[in-house]
Amino acid sequence: MRLNTAIVISLITLLLGFFFEKVYLWVPLSVLIAGIIDLFTRQWVMSDRVGQMQRLSVTLKSLFALTGFYAMIGQVACIGLIIWWFIF
């Protein structure tokens, strides 16, 4: 298991925001949490296995896929937040 870019970018953003006392730290924190969830569930979401409770499995896979999508989009938001904090 290796770190994904969502974890790295959101952690850097969170640390920069914390040390420079910036606002909207909930954005990189939520992306970090979503990245960690995505790190542990991505293999299962991408697999074809569903098990006996197919509806529950498909629902959970969809929820975890949406969490991974949020982590992916959140990387861009974190980079935008760094730009907004230090340039504008």
Question: What are the structure tokens assigned to 1, written together?
Answer: 């298991």
For the CA atoms of 24, 26, 28, 32, what is the dihedral angle to 10 degrees?
180
Q: What is the pLDDT of residues 3-43, one digit of tens each?
A: 899 999 999 999 999 999 999 999 999 999 999 999 999 99
In tens, the pLDDT along 68-78 reads 999 999 999 99
Q: Which of 69, 65, 7 is nearest to 33 (CA)?
A: 7
Domain count along the chain: 1
pLDDT for the residue 50:
87
Which domain covers residue 29, as residue numbers? Answer: 5-86
pTM: 0.93
